[in-house]
Structures are given as C-alpha cells and as structure tokens.
C-alpha cells in the first residue's frame, strides 16, 4: 500500500514517484468512540436530522457548488494519492462526485412514506427515518467518487456520518469535509476519520453505537465486516465488493467497429484496471477471436503510459509496488502454464520508483489459472473463446462474483437471452457502462450484499421504516 504504519501515522505516498505527499495521524479506536459519541449528540440535538429536508438540501447543494469551485484541487488530490490519470479525475471522478451530492440533495424532500390499507378505525403510517450515527468505509480506487456516493444519501436522509477513507487516499475526503463545513453543515454531522482498516475500520464495524455501515472494498474485508456486525449489534450492513466481470462478444460484435474497441479498452484499463466493474475477462466467439485479439492488443499497446499528472496519460502507476508485483506474479504464472501475454511493455523514462505495469492481454490461460479466477486489480485482461451462447453464459457465470457484465451483438433476442442469463447486478448491452445516478448499482453473488448505491434505492441503506399505528374513533 502507499501508506504504512509508523506509530500512529498514515503516510500518503504518490505511487507515481514513491514520494511522501503527507503524513497524517491515524484515527485510533478511542477516537472512533469519541466521534461516535459526538455523532449521536449532534443527531439527538436535531440540528441536522430535524431540519426540514428542503433546508438540508440547500446545504448539500451549496456543498456541490463548493466542490465545483475546488474541482481542480479535488482532481489533483485523487491523481496524486491514487496515481489516477488526471484526465480521468477531471472528466469522470470529480464531475460524478458533484453530480452525486447534487442529485441526492435534490432527492432529500422526495422520500415518501406509505399508508397501510387498514379498516376505517385505524391509520397505519409507515415513514422512513434516518438511522442516526452511521458509517462508511471506502476503497482507494475511486476515493472522491465513493465518498460522494455515501455522503449524498446518508446526509440527505438526516444522519450523522462517520466516513473512513482508505489508508492510501484520505485527502480528497478530508477536503470535502472542510467544504461541508463551509457550506454550513453543522459540526459533527460529517466526520472524516483517516485510519487503518484493522483499527479504525474494525472499530466502526464493531461499534454498538453505529446503526448502519456502508462499505465499498474487497470481498474479503466485506465478509469480515458482516461478521463483526453480526457479533456486535447487527448494524445494517451494505457491501459493494469485488468483481471479475466478463465482456461477451458475439460473432457480429466487430460490426460496432471503433466503438467496440474503445469501450473494451475503457472496460479493461480505466484506472489501470483497478476498477470494481473492470471487464477483465473477454469472452469472444471463436469465429472472430483472432481479429478481436489483434485489434484489441494493438489498441492496448497504443495507450499512453506515464506521469498521471499529464493530461494525455491514459495509464498511470498501480496503487503500490506490492500491487504491481502481485499482478506480475499472476501473469508470470499463467505464462509459465502455457498462456501468451501480449503487451507493448513500458516506455523508457518512467520514474524508477513508480508502480507501473503495462496493459497486458493474456490469451490461452489454462482453466483454474489465477488470472481467470481472481480479481487481479491491474491492467490485465484474459481472452477466452466460446462456440455457443450457452457456453458464453456458462463461462461468464463461472466465478464467485456477479458485479457487472457487458455484451455486444446487434441481435435483440440474443442480447436479451444473454442479459437474462448472466448473473450480475449490472449488464450493459453494446457499451461498457455502469448506468448512471438514476439507476441502482449493486452486485450479485459475492460482489454485493444488503443494498444498492445510487438512485433513490440508496436511501434504503441510510433509513429505516417505522410503522405508526393510530386508533381512530
Ligand atoms: P479493502 O477491502 O482492502 O479496503 C477497503 C476499506 O476497508 C479500506 O478503507 C480499509 O482500510 C478498510 N478495512 C480493511 N480491513 C477492515 C476491517 N477489518 N474492518 C473494517 N474496515 C476494514 O479494499 P481496497 O483494496 O481499498 O479496494 C479495492 C477493492 O474494492 C476491490 O476489490 C474492488 O473491486 C472493490 N471496489 C468495489 C466497488 C463497488 O462498488 N462494488 C467500488 C470500488 C472498489
């Protein structure tokens, strides 16, 4: 990781250079206790939770404006901390985060309750209530965007939120917390707690005073958090976790021309493949496999690799040298077992301490290879062929994950059959897409648990329903 334990410090390291960017105190379990107490005091005071939703919306809309004002600062923080290409941050992460805060602000006064179909002498009112003190635990690959996905609905619903960014990437969330104060959010309503997962993250997961925890990160950590919640107070847990998503190309896929290759490249290599929905398994019909491999490897080889702070860079470093070495080992293993790795390699002149790994296309990996089964989280895709639709669906579903999939065909019937057959929370037809803010996003199988992000469905994570039963006379 780009941070390391040094007493109680977090060292934030630029993965493009190995240089230390900042050193921050890491939140301890004791500090989590204090922050939870403070969150409860603020919640109980009603200064935020009891404020009319329209007024909460106004504060969050002001926050969105301030994020727009500081868009370049936010883009640079994620670029430096995570090694993400600055153009991705400017055009994807930052505008997406602002949109998320704005959309949930505007939704704050549109969350309606229900009434029960009772007899005339009763009235049953079901209202959605904020949970109280709630927590979010974040990954490092989309630091600002994931913070915004949680902050928007959690605060719009009236909760007090404790947010733990990933060890490597705390600075954009800390900046947003400062902007929230400037926007008029009452003190203690949003606390950002940079800290280690094993200490601050675990303290949140086990805290009896936290009513709901929304997590985005690896499946292994999600499993731990769910167990911690079960062993303590059964807090409401939502988990957005890893993936091993397929890109399925039917025999007519090449008709999509450059759109196909551009989207396949984005699916495979956005954020250097360190993307939960990365289309890391290309499943291609055998009739077009040779052509697809040739065109895709040529496009992958043309990606500009370099300093993520430069606008034309498409491929920066991985999050750490340890991550790079792990990815390299998995590819080396597959090659030793008979696979072929197509790559243009790294250009000369990269920073010697940068955690770079070149975009790589692995063809012919034997069944069971780690490159086919594990979420590698790097710029590596595998290519597998199929002869029939049924075989494509079987291969697409042959992992424990079920986050996303994309499929390419002009034939509507085929597209529907594949979309229905593939076990994933989001299936994109003739594009690589995660949908947008209006549609729920969440994984199936071991990719997701307990609730969706985005859309009004996200409020289910951050509210609970109360039934008020009134006898009328
Ligand atoms: P990670 O699981 O290592 O860490 C995620 C967060 O959990 C960090 O803040 C970490 O400090 C914390 N943590 C670690 N141990 C903990 C514990 N015992 N209790 C509580 N918190 C703990 O994941 P990562 O490496 O930061 O992120 C990469 C993973 O995130 C990938 O698997 C990726 O697929 C996934 N991801 C999923 C989505 C999605 O929406 N499905 C989005 C982005 C990333």
The predicted-structure confidence for 150-165, as pLDDT tens digits, reads as follows: 999 999 999 999 999 9
How far does the centroid of ligand 1 lie from the alpha carbon of residue 166, in Å?
A: 7
- 335 closest CA partner among 295, 374, 380, 378: 380
Q: Residue 403: CB within 6 Å of ligand 1?
A: yes
How many of the other CB atoms lie within 10 Å of CB of 22? 17
- 234 closest CA partner among 214, 205, 197: 205
For a ligand 1 pocket test, name from 32, 195, 217 the mutation site with the most ligand atoms within 8 angstroms of its C-beta. Answer: 217
Q: Residue 275: CB within 6 Å of ligand 1?
A: no
Q: Which atom of ligand 1 is nearest to the CA of 219?
A: 32
Instruction: Looking at 270-358, list the stretches that DSSP marks H as alpha helix, in order from N- to C-terminal side.
Output: 289-301, 321-336
The fourth-level CATH superfamily of domain 5-241+447-471 is Aldehyde Dehydrogenase; Chain A, domain 1 (3.40.605.10)
How far does the centroid of ligand 1 lie from the alpha carbon of residue 216, in Å?
A: 5
How far apart are the C-alpha atoms of 254 and 289, rounded to whole Å? 10
pLDDT in tens, 373-430: 999 999 999 999 999 999 999 999 999 999 999 999 999 999 999 999 999 999 999 9
Q: Residue 198: CB within 6 Å of ligand 1?
A: yes
Record the tokens describing residue 296, joined without a space: 């895709």
How far does the centroid of ligand 1 lie from the alpha carbon of residue 217, in Å?
A: 2
Q: Residue 164: CB within 6 Å of ligand 1?
A: yes
Record the tokens describing residue 118, joined without a space: 């009772």
pLDDT in tens, 9-36: 999 999 999 999 999 999 999 999 999 9
Look at ligand 1, atom 15, and give the residue with the nearest C-alpha: 197
Active-site residue, 99 included? no
Average pLDDT of the segment spanning 294-305: 98
CB of 426 within 8 A of CB of 277?
yes
Q: Residue 143: CB within 6 Å of ligand 1?
A: no
- 450 closest CA partner among 163, 221, 241, 140: 241
Q: Which atom of ligand 1 is nearest to the CA of 319?
A: 25
How many of the other CB atoms lie within 10 Å of CB of 132? 18
Greatest distance between any 2 Cα atoms in the chain? 83
Query: Over the range 324-343, which residues count as b (16 or more CB within 10 Å of their CB) and which as e?
Result: bebbeebbeebbeeebebbb
- CA angle (389 as vertex; 418, 382 as ends), nearest 5: 85
How far apart are the C-alpha atoms of 303 and 240, rounded to whole Å? 29
Look at ligand 1, atom 20, and give the residue with the nearest C-alpha: 201
3-state SS string for 200-254: HHHHHHHCCCCCEEEEECCHHHHHHHHHHHHHCCCCEEEEECCCCCEEEECCCHH
Q: Which atom of ligand 1 is nearest to the CA of 166?
A: 9
Q: Which atom of ligand 1 is nearest to the CA of 448?
A: 41
Residue-range domain boundaries for the chain = 5-241+447-471, 246-436
Whether pTM exceeds 0.85? yes
How far apart are the C-alpha atoms of 27 and 29, rounded to whole Å? 7
Per-residue model confidence (pLDDT) at position 473? 85
Q: Residue 443: CB within 6 Å of ligand 1?
A: yes
Mean pLDDT (the chain) is 97
Strands across the sheet with 114-115, in order? 114-115, 122-130, 463-471
Domain 246-436: CATH architecture, name and number where available: 3-Layer(aba) Sandwich (3.40)
**Catalytic one of 240, 391, 434, 465:** 240
φ, ψ dihedrals at 466, nearest 5°: -120, 135
CB of 76 within 8 A of CB of 7?
no
Which of 7-11, 122-126, 202-206, 391-395 has the weakest average pLDDT? Answer: 7-11
User: pLDDT over 70 for what percent of the chain?
Assistant: 99
Average pLDDT of the segment spanning 336-358: 98
């Amino acid at each position: 990781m780009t941070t390391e334990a040094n007493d109680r410090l977090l060292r934030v390291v630029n993965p493009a250079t190995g240089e230390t960017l900042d050193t921050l105190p890491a939140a301890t379990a004791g500090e989590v206790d204090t922050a939870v107490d403070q969150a409860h005091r603020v919640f109980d005071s009603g200064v935020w939770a009891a404020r009319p939703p329209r007024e909460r919306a106004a504060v969050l809309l002001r926050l969105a404006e301030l994020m727009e004002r500081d868009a370049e600062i936010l883009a640079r923080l994620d670029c430096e901390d995570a090694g993400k290409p600055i153009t991705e941050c400017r055009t994807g992460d930052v505008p997406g985060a602002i949109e998320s805060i704005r959309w949930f602000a505007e939704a704050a006064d549109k969350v309606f309750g229900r009434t029960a179909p009772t007899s005339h002498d009763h009235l049953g009112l079901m209202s959605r209530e904020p949970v109280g003190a709630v927590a979010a635990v974040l990954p490092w690959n989309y630091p600002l965007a994931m913070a915004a996905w949680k902050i928007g609905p959690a605060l719009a619903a009236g909760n007090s939120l404790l947010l733990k960014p990933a060890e490597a990437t705390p600075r954009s969330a800390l900046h947003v917390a400062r902007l929230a104060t400037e926007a008029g959010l009452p003190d203690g309503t949003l606390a950002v707690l940079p800290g280690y997962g094993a200490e601050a993250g675990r303290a949140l997961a086990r805290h009896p005073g936290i009513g709901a925890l929304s997590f985005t990160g690896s499946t292994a950590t999600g499993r731990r958090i769910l167990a911690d919640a079960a062993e303590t107070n059964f807090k409401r847990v939502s988990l957005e976790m890893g993936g091993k998503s397929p890109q399925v190309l039917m025999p007519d896929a090449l008709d999509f021309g450059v759109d196909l290759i551009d989207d396949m490249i984005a699916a495979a290599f956005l954020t250097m493949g360190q993307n939960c929905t990365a289309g890391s398994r290309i499943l291609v019909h055998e009739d077009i496999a040779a052509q697809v491999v040739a065109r895709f490897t040529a496009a992958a080889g043309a990606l500009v690799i370099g300093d993520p702070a430069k606008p034309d860079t498409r491929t920066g470093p991985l999050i750490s040298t340890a991550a790079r070495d792990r990815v390299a080992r998995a590819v080396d293993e597959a090659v030793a077992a008979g696979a072929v790795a197509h790559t243009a390699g790294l250009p000369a002149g990269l920073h010697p301490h940068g955690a770079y790994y070149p975009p790589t296309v692995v063809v012919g990996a034997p069944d069971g290879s780690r490159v086919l089964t594990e979420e590698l989280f790097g710029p590596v895709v595998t290519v597998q062929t199929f002869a029939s639709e049924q075989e494509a669906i079987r291969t697409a579903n042959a992992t424990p994950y079920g986050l996303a999939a994309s499929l390419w065909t002009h034939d509507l019937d085929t597209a529907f059959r594949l979309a229905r057959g593939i076990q994933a929370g989001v299936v994109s037809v003739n594009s690589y897409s995660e949908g947008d803010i209006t549609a729920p996003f969440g994984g199936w199988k071991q990719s997701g648990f307990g609730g969706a992000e985005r859309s009004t469905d996200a409020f289910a994570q951050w509210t609970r329903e109360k039934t008020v039963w009134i006898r009328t006379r």
